[in-house]
Amino acid sequence: MVLIMLTYLWHNLRPRLGRGFAVVIIAAQPFLAPTAVSAPKQLLVLGDSISAAYGMDLEQGWVALLQEHLNKNQTGWMVINASISGDTTGGGLQRLPDLLQRHSPDVVVIELGGNDGLRGFPITKLRQNLTTLSLSAQNAGASVLLLSMEIPPNFGSRYTTLFRDSYTIVAEQTHASIAPFILSNIALDAELMQGDGIHPTASAQSLLLENVLPYVLPLVQLAESKP
């Protein structure tokens, strides 16, 4: 209809307006709204040197391998590695609020506490910090996975037992998911450990991922089921 009217005006008005008159017709096309692209789901790993790929390139670490696995088997996930070598649960507490605000993660994996134990920090403080970390992430809307840690037996059986049990206790109290010791099948194998006897080698990183996957994937699937 618009084109017919413009044609009519052109033929009827041109003789009256003279040759200097020009009509510019702009063809209006339907407005196409941009296709909505959903933001990727976020998985935040808050850890220490075990997750920070100590002694190797960051791309070789188990957290980077987790991103590769999700790229192949899931859709729209971004893994954020917020791990720092030497970090403690106290350090994680200081960093977590900003990380939650910036990334709004759907899943938070907490791999902290090993350095607390190696420094002989009080068990009550360890449990308090782990509890606050878990609840803070949950209150921000994230599911939480605690990765259990262990320390060498030379700290004494009482301390090492209380340390080990802390993760189960915190998980039960905060209703967080929990995974067994991430180095359970690695720590005693000299070929899979670096010279310091504390950090796994690059070749062991795929084994770390295998230890974590059965516990992190259900949380990934749960996040995907939410609108």
Check which CATH number belongs to the domain holding 209 and give it: 3.40.50.1110
Lowest mean pLDDT among 9-23, 65-79, 167-181: 9-23
199 assigned to active site: yes
| Domain membership flag for residue 22 | no
| Domain membership flag for residue 12 | no
| Domain membership flag for residue 185 | yes
Q: Which amino acid is at 206?
A: S
* Structural domains of the chain, count: 1
87 assigned to active site: no
| Domain membership flag for residue 18 | no
| Domain membership flag for residue 127 | yes
| Catalytic-role residue among 11, 157, 196, 225 | 196
Q: What proportion of the chain, given as a percentage, has pLDDT over 90?
A: 79
Please write the tens of the pLDDT for every residue from 3-58: 344 344 344 444 444 444 333 333 344 444 444 456 889 999 999 999 999 999 99
| Catalytic-role residue among 48, 106, 116, 199 | 199
| Domain membership flag for residue 32 | no
pTM: 0.83
| Domain membership flag for residue 2 | no
Please write the tens of the pLDDT for every residue from 77-94: 999 999 999 999 999 999
49 assigned to active site: yes
| Domain membership flag for residue 55 | yes
| Catalytic-role residue among 48, 49, 69, 148 | 49
DSSP string covering the chain, please? -HHHHHHHHHHHHHHHH-TT---PPP------PPPP-PPPEEEEEEESTTTTTTTS-GGGSHHHHHHHHHHHHSSSEEEEE---TT--HHHHHHHHHHHHHHH--SEEEEE--HHHHHTT--HHHHHHHHHHHHHHHHHTT-EEEEE-----GGG-HHHHHHHHHHHHHHHHHHT-EEE--TTTTTTT-GGGB-TTSSSB-GGGHHHHHHHHHHHHHHHHHHHHH--
Domain that holds residue 109: 41-225
